[in-house]
Every structure is written in structure tokens, then in C-alpha cells.
Structure 1
Amino acid sequence: MTDPVGEAAIGRAFREESGRSVATLIRVFGQIDIAEDAVQDAFATALRVWPRDGLPPNPGGWITTTARRCAIDRLRRDGRGRELLKELAVLDGPDEVEEAPEVADDRLRLIFTCCHPALAPEAQVALTLRLLGGLRTEEVARAFLVAEPAMAQRLVRAKRKIKLARIPYRVPRDHELPARLRSVLAVLYLIYNTGAAEFRAEAIRLARVLGSLMPDEPEATGLLALLLLTESRFRTRVADDGSLVLLRDQDRTRWDRALIDEGHALVRACLRRDRPGPYQLQAAINAVHTDAGSFPATDWAQILALYDQLLALAPTPVVALNRAIAVGEVHGPRAALDLVDELDLPDYHAFHATRADLLRRLGRAGDAAAAYAAAAALAPNPAERAYLAARAAALRQGG
């Protein structure tokens, strides 16, 4: 018998193991709702049993086996459920659900099912968080800034769409994989960029799962490297008083060197391939930033060369804006402002903030103040709004 465990330990186990268990039970029973309800029942049982008996040697196997029994018990009590049991013949199978390589395949199948292009992007993100991330509906709702009942309905519609459209629970065939993998990577990146600590951690964990399941996919490795290198600097982006700290002013001694070292190793591994993809290039850009001991020591010429490659692959206005920032460091603010003014991003706060910084560097204080104010009005979080508004006020006052 192991030491007794509390609700916090059981909650961590749920977050770490529920996605694996749900994926396995979807394979066994063929239906998301049955699998999800059974795993919830299993963790309710764990809340009663584990504090008394201690953490089992294999928590994931215990949850999956218990969930399978819970699902069978539920189906036995329902007429249509009994028919399903006969069709599946799960009663004749072994009581213990093996933690074999097939389980890893189950999670990979579920990732691709959640991120099927037939589902709306916001549904892909929500369903991935719910089923693979082990997040409660209320947590997913909070990430999307919507009410819990609205998120519950969104999840119900997504699962109904999977059932009615007969979206297959499988890894795409080879010829489908490149396009489908892009959706999966985009969803994980969106999850990370919600900004909340728990969602950043979930995105990194799921990216690790995907990377371990698809070790020969360099873009999966690139995404993991990008998330690790971004996360390495996260705690220095906001000061103790909640104010925003720009990259040039961050205390680099507080960057997480373990994450940086891991991210650099992944970048070196995935960039050995020909024609690196967008996530590999973004990871490489972050690797250059985190390799510099100070802002002036940053190799901006290398960053600009990487952005040239990225813009050729992903010719979006946001990538062009980021490239213009690098142009400003290499060729000066006038050249960068000419590029920025060609972009159509009126509702993007970073567009106005970039213009403001370039205008300030060119000595156009009045125009810069107006651009900072426009950026503050569009900024997504209080720290950025406060920083940008303060810059606008300082310029108006001659600071």
C-alpha cells in the first residue's frame, strides 16, 4: 500500500491520465460520450478509494480499467447499450486494459479526430482541451471568455458533428497527413497562446505527446521547440507590479535555461531537414533571441534571413509585420516603417504598437503618441494596455 493521496494529487492524475484513458475507451466502445462519462465515473471512484488505499502503482492503467468497467455497467442498464455490448463483444475481452503501444496510437487518433477540418477551429481547440487536456468544461469556457453553458453546447455540437459526419477515429493516411497535421499543430499553438498558465502547460504537454508519437515529423518537433523557447522567457515579460516588460528590457538571467537548452537541441535536430516548415523557422527565430546575452548582441541579420524564409512559406500580414521589426533593427526605422505602412492590419494592436515605436525612433512624437493610443485601445490584456497608454501619455508630455 502506498501513502494516502489527496484531491490535489488525484486532480494531477486526472489531468495527466484522462486523455489517454478517454482515447483508449473511444477505441473500445466507439463513442466519445460513453468514454468520457466512464472516465469521469472512474475518477469519482478514485476520489473515494485512493485517499484510503493510496495511489496505485499504475494510475493510468487503474483509471482505464475502472472506466471500462463503469462503461460496461452503464451499458448493461440500458437496452441500446446491451445491444452495443453484443456488437463490440467487450464482455469477452480481458478485464485489464493493456498499456501497450496501441494506447499511444489511441491518443494520436483522438488528436486528429478533435482537429478534423470538418469542425470549426474554435471547436477543435475546445474539444482538444476537453478530451485530451482533461480540462473541465468551465475551464475551457474561461479560456474562451464565454459562459459555461455556451461552451457545453459548443462541445455537444462538436461531438454530434463527429458522430453525424462519421468523422473517422484514425490517423490520416499518408497523403492526407501534411494538411491534417497543420490543423493539429495550429490548435496546439492556439491553446498555448490563450496565455493562461494552465493552458500553456497543457499545450506543451500535448506537444510533447504529439512529438513522441510522431518523431519523424519535423514540424511537430518545431512546434514543441517553439513553445519551450517562448515559455522560457514568459516569467520575465511582466514586472512584479503587473506592468509589461519588453524583450529589450527583460532580465535574461531569469530566463529558464533548461527550457532554452532543450529548445535549442530540438531546433538543431529538426533544422537538419531540407525545407524547414513554419514552426521550425519560428522556433529557430526564438533560438536566436534566446542565444543572445543582451538585446544589442542579438543577431538581427540572422533573424531577418529566417523571416525571409518564413514569409515565403506563410505570406501573412502578421509575419510581414514581424519581419519589418527585424528590418528596423538591421536597416533602420525608416525602411521598416515603409514596410509597415503597406500592411492592412487596422484591428491588430501589435501593428499600431510597431508603428508607434518606429515613429518614435524617427522623432515623430505626435504621430507616435497617436499610434500608441490606438494600440492601447486594441490590446488584449491589462498589462499591455497600461504599457501602451503610458507610452502615449509620456510622448504627449514630451517624455
Structure 2
Amino acid sequence: MNKFYKFIWGAVVLFLVSACASDDDRPDPGDDPNLLISKVRFEKDLSIIENAGETEIKLLLEPAARTSGEIKVRLQVPDEINLGTNPGMIDNYISLQIEKGAASASFKVIPENDELLKGHQEFSITFGPMSSGFRKSEEGQEMLLSIIDDELDGKPKSFAGGGIKVEYKYSQNGKISRVTNKYSHGYEDHTTYHYNSSGTILETIHQATSAVIKNKYYWEEDKLVRSEEFIGEEMRAYSLYDYDEAGNIGSKVVYLKNDQGDFKENFVYVYLYFDTGNFYKQIIYLKVDTEEEYALISSRSYENYLDKPNLFPVNQVVPGIMTQHNLPGLYRLEENGVDFSFEFTYEYNEKGYAVKRVTDGEVITYEYY
């Protein structure tokens, strides 16, 4: 029995010694950088003005670098953008040297300032090859860099109020290229504008969460005669236009596709204007099967125009074409048996542009480039 207990005790001692030796021989994670990888991500999307000079683009390392190494970033720069960088760019790549312990890295971009109107230019920046010890994070693997032409100075940038912010971007011909709606609950949609070489609107594409809505516009002798609305690839409506004696669009007749696949006249819009060209009233009728043929749906009017410029393209009959050249002082809505009137008051910047509009229960703020 004594020999048996001695054998058991010896085995226990041998196991403990072996375990301690294993612990002592296990490498410290800090000694091997591959055991703890730094994840790399871009800090945020960025918009810069063409004449702003150098702008820093930052990368974040989480955790801080456990070893020195190199990270390459790729700038997918369009040919029409002249862009300098520091460090220099070779074949669209910039090499960044990372020191051990660094929690971030950065490089600078320097857009070339010119006298040409180029509108908004956008391109993406992504990660290229990295040294061992670094890896792309699950988030922030790409950033969007927008270069805003300084020749856009004074053009509408955005307006906000009532739980929505509307932002404008422009093409090289100075016309609106994209309108983005950002809602307070986090939802976002946008509309892109497409023109011919003369700057005439040909198409808008509205990208929403549930559907893509495309509108096409057809012109004859510089007058809009027809538009078509598609949901996906299916045409669901078309409209025909007529003009008043002053050359303004005076009416629009809307034909909707029914369940049988036929297009039937549905709504009629009538547009009235002041002699100054400012939009006065929109009247909407519904086509009905009665002796009257049309039922009045609503009337919306703008009056008391001020001697102040309106630069924002709201209340458009045709996308991108201004109907209110001055700021209205009064808005009236007659609809569903009610009659509401709202008086507008404004605050202005040093150029005389509106920066705030106030009415009962609502404040709208305006921004310019």
C-alpha cells in the first residue's frame, strides 16, 4: 500500500511541475503581433471645397498598432479631377507607414482650384494591401470624398424643417444633379436628375426603399409636351402639357393605368402666374362620371411676393425649373372643406438670401454653398 501511495503522489507532483513549465513557456501575446490584429477603418465620409487647400483624411486603428507596418489606400479618382496628395500617389495608391503604438494614420488631399464650373465630384477611397498585424474593420472599409466646386458659391445647399432635410448637389453645367431627403427618423431617399447637352431635363430617377420611380420628359421646340412615370420597368402614368400666352405651363392632364391596363384621364392640374412670372396658384381637378365631368380637389396659392430673391427650386411644375423667383409672403390652402392661410416672415444673410423662414408652428432654415 505504501508503494501505491508513493506512486500516486509522485504522479501528482510530476503533473504539477509539467503544468507550471507549460505556463512559463507559453508566449506573451504582446510578444507576437499576429496574436492581436489592429482593425483599420476610415473615420467618416467627407465633403471639401475646391479651394480649401490641404484636407486631412484620417484612418483609425483599433486597438493601436502592436507592430510597425504599412497600409495602402486606393483613391478611385475620375480623370476629370486634378488632385494632389501627401504622401504622393502612385498608380492611384498611397502608402502609409504605421509606427508601433499608433492609434491613427492620415494623409492629405489637395484639390486643384480652377475657374471652371465642375459641380460636385465624388469618388471612393478604399483599402489596398496591408502588412501582417493589420486588417480591414467590418465597418468603414470605404469612404466617399466629395469635392465641391467653389464656383457654386451662393447656390442652394439645403433646407430643413418639419422633420426633413433636403440637400442639393450639382453637375458640371451648374444644374441640380441630385436631391437627397433625410428624415428625422433615419429614413433617406434621393432623386437624380439627367439632362441633354443643352441642359434640358430628360429624366429623373427617384430611389426609395420600396421602389424606383423614373420620370421621362419629352420636348418639342423647347416646350415640354409629355412626361411618363415608371415604377420599375412598368409605365404607370403619363401627362400631357399645355402653355399659357406668356409661355408658362398652364395645365397638366394626368392619365393613370387602371387594372385592365388602359390609361384613363384622372387628374387635371391648372397653373396660374403673376405678370412677374412668379407662381400664383395650383388648382387640381379629378375626372368624374357626372355632368360636371371634373370635381375640384384642392387649390394652393402663393401671394404677397417680396423684393427678395428665392434661390430654392421648390413648388416646381417641372423638375429644376424655377416658378418662384421671389420669396412668397403668404401661402393659402383650400382643401377638404378647410381654408388655411400662413404668413411667412424671413431672416436674411449679408447677401440678402433667406436663411430662416418662420410661420405658425414651423421654422425652415436654409443653407448655401
The TM-score by the shorter chain falls in which range? Answer: under 0.3
Compare the two structures and name the one with the higher strand fraction.
2
Quick check: which has more Rg, 1 or 2? Answer: 2
Compare the two structures and name the one with the higher helix fraction.
1
